[in-house]
Structure 1
Amino acid sequence: MSIGTGAEVWSAAVVAGLSADLFVHPMETIITRVQSPLYAIRYKSNGRIKQNLFRGLYQGFGPTLLTGIPSSAAFFIIYEGMKSAFQESGHLHVPPWAVHVASSGAAELVNCAISNPAEVLKQNAQIQLGGPRKPWGWYTVQAIRHFSAHPARLWTGYSALLASHLPGTCLTFGIYEHIKAQILEKMGETDPQLAASTSMQVQVSTLSAGLAGGFTSCFLVPIDVIKTRMRLAAGGHGVETLERSRRPSVSFLNIAKETLHTEGMPGLFRGFTLTCVAATIGSGLYLGCYEGVKLYIRDMGEVSD
């Protein structure tokens, strides 16, 4: 991957990451609150949803903003770099789906390592209660203060993050690249000029990514619920008892057992519909923006040449 291509990918990744985070964060805040074991206490009353479920939807956005740029850039630089390496090595006959799975998997390992601490801070900030006039960033500051005494807890849920994101990302990108290639190939048979146009490629990328992301997320909701509760428990928001909140770590298996014991199987599918909707919109916006900006920069470079 050349320097020019690297700058092109980096710029597109930054725009895509910021756009998706800005749009999807409110939905993720609601999902975190719904998946919290304190949902029935804090956000429901007499079977009805309280208004505070929809307040402060951008709580915890600061950590997401700070790590979104490097994690998104690192992901796509590794993803595109590995794809190029496979394609340029003529002696390796690797099927396209395997290239996409391997490339996205390697990229996601780095992405998770960068984003996990920010995700822990974000979700603990999202669940905090407070008055409607708190200054912007107040909830994040409170979360940082809590974890400053136990910085190791910022890595709580990393195993669950990998367990959900690694296969999820591999499956999403495998499906995404396959659907996109099939649509553009069929379209190219009837109208090659239309299939090659930037606008059509962006539309196809957005549609393909949305379908792939939404489909994949449906299978990973239970892991997402457990991951959320592990992080909230690390911040003292996961359970009612003081003793539990003081534990240095909470295992994936213990959280899964507790959820099944107290809420049954439905507890592992909390926020199922909204999670799938958010994944569909977020994936479509993320990869649609990425492809759009990347192709725009590439076209501008060709014009200037």
Structure 2
Amino acid sequence: MSTAIGMEAVVAAAAGATLSVDFLIHPMDTLITRMQSPMYTTQYKSVNGAVSRTLFLGLYQGFGPTIITSIPSSAAFFTIYEGLKGYSLRAKEEGRFAGVPLPVLYGASGAAASLVSCAITNPAEVLKQNAQVYRGGSGSGSGTSPTMDTLRRFAKQPTKLWAGYTALVASDLPNTTLTFCLYETLKERFLGGEGKSQERSAPQQVLASGLCAAAAGSASSSLFVPIDVVKTRMRLAAGGEVTGENGSSKTSSSSSRAKIGPIAVARGIILKEGVRGLFRGATVTVLAAGFGGGLYIGCYEAIKIYLS
């Protein structure tokens, strides 16, 4: 990614990439949420253990909150990332951070940008994932919007929209750091350094960026599936609390936090489902990360090059 560009181009490229990719990836994201949910074996599997057709119904449930927040969060992420990346390049040229490889600095830049992005996206992610497993959703004939019904229920306890934030940060920071460290390393091997990459044609830059991002995204996401499962369970547990499904809504806040804390959730999964329970949906997660990451970065680079 070139750093000698205006922030307007970065924001526009991030927004364009987000709109393009979210529409294609959301169905896979819905499948992942349903496979990682505690209701998977009862709600999305038949009596004989075969996958039920309900798993594939309403795959765009929860799409609204995703679009509303993904554009500003992506714009914030890449604005911070590109800014810190440019600072890292200048610092290296001035002799600072001499012992630190550039890909590591890029990974740290991605982690810093991810902190801001997570704060923007978490409430929408909670709404989205609860809408994705909404029991009165598409195909039920109820006419009720899963997203709007979920939003109305969370309006009674808005603090629950921050459920899973600790797990999100715990997975997203190291995941983003590793992803961008791998991505920049692979891209440098394919295209050369920051100066040499500009000598390549635009299609070559876009293709190399997309392939490198796909490889980096799928590799790093495979390591963080357990945290992703815990994060999903925490968010769905919050949805159960605001609807009374996981117990009385009069439960004290301290006991609620203990019930859906990340360590308690992970322990509960292992006790009930074994270690395999922490790797629910791993295959789809890796495929989605590779396909989505490659397409996202590819679109981002293509739009950015065009605007530059």
Take 2:215 and 2:244, find their aligned partners in 1: how far apart are those partners? 38
Asked if the contact 1:232/1:238 (under 8 Å) is kept, the reply is no
**1:68-217 correspondence to structure 2 within 5 Å:** 68-89=70-91, 90-93=94-97, 94-130=100-136, 131-132=138-139, 133=141, 138-185=145-192, 196-217=200-221
Taking every aligned residue pair, what percent have the same amino acid on both sides?
48
Structure 1 residues without counterparts, runs of 5 or longer: 299-305
1:253 to 263, 267, 272: 263
- The structure carrying a bigger helix percent of its residues is 1
The reply to whether residue 233 of structure 1 matches residue 240 of structure 2 is no
Asked if the contact 2:3/2:83 (under 8 Å) is kept, the reply is no
Compute the TM-score of the two structures, normalised by the length of structure 1.
0.90
- 1:177 to 1:69, Cα distance in 2 relative to 1, 3 A: same
Take 2:300 and 2:206, find their aligned partners in 1: how far apart are those partners? 9
- 1:8 to 1:134, Cα distance in 2 relative to 1, 3 A: farther
- 1:193 to 1:148, Cα distance in 2 relative to 1, 3 A: closer
Q: Please report how far the alpha carbon of residue 240 of structure 1 lies from its aligned counterpart in structure 2 after TM superposition.
A: 10
- 1:282 to 1:159, Cα distance in 2 relative to 1, 3 A: same
Asked if the contact 1:229/1:238 (under 8 Å) is kept, the reply is no
Take 2:84 and 2:302, find their aligned partners in 1: how far apart are those partners? 21
- 1:138 to 1:241, Cα distance in 2 relative to 1, 3 A: closer
Q: Please report how far the alpha carbon of residue 195 of structure 1 lies from its aligned counterpart in structure 2 after TM superposition.
A: 5.9
Take 1:295 and 1:246, find their aligned partners in 2: how far apart are those partners? 54
CA deviations on 1:69-114 (whole Å, 9 max, x unpaired) are 1000000000000111222232423420222012101100000000
**1:14-33 correspondence to structure 2 within 5 Å:** 14-33=15-34
Letter of the structure 2 residue corresponding to residue 256 of structure 1: A
Q: Please report how far the alpha carbon of residue 49 of structure 1 lies from its aligned counterpart in structure 2 after TM superposition.
A: 1.0
Asked if the contact 1:205/1:284 (under 8 Å) is kept, the reply is yes
Q: Please report how far the alpha carbon of residue 270 of structure 1 lies from its aligned counterpart in structure 2 after TM superposition.
A: 0.3
Aligned to 1:302: none
CA deviations on 1:179-205 (whole Å, 9 max, x unpaired) are 01101139x9xxx89961000000000
Could you say what the CA RMSD is over the residues aligned between the two structures, in angstroms? 2.5
Letter of the structure 1 residue corresponding to residue 16 of structure 2: V
Alignment length (residue pairs): 293
2:63 to 61, 64, 69: 61
Q: Which moved more, 1:1-10 or 1:14-23?
A: 1-10
SS in 2 for 1:235: helix
Aligned to 1:218: 222
Asked if the contact 2:209/2:294 (under 8 Å) is kept, the reply is yes
SS in 2 for 1:228: helix
Compute the TM-score of the two structures, normalised by the length of structure 2.
0.89
Asked if the contact 2:221/2:286 (under 8 Å) is kept, the reply is yes
Asked if the contact 1:31/1:271 (under 8 Å) is kept, the reply is yes
CA deviations on 1:28-58 (whole Å, 9 max, x unpaired) are 0011001001111101112111111001000
Aligned to 2:274: 264
SS in 1 for 2:83: helix
Asked if the contact 1:230/1:238 (under 8 Å) is kept, the reply is no
Asked if the contact 2:241/2:248 (under 8 Å) is kept, the reply is no
Letter of the structure 1 residue corresponding to residue 85 of structure 2: K
Letter of the structure 1 residue corresponding to residue 147 of structure 2: T
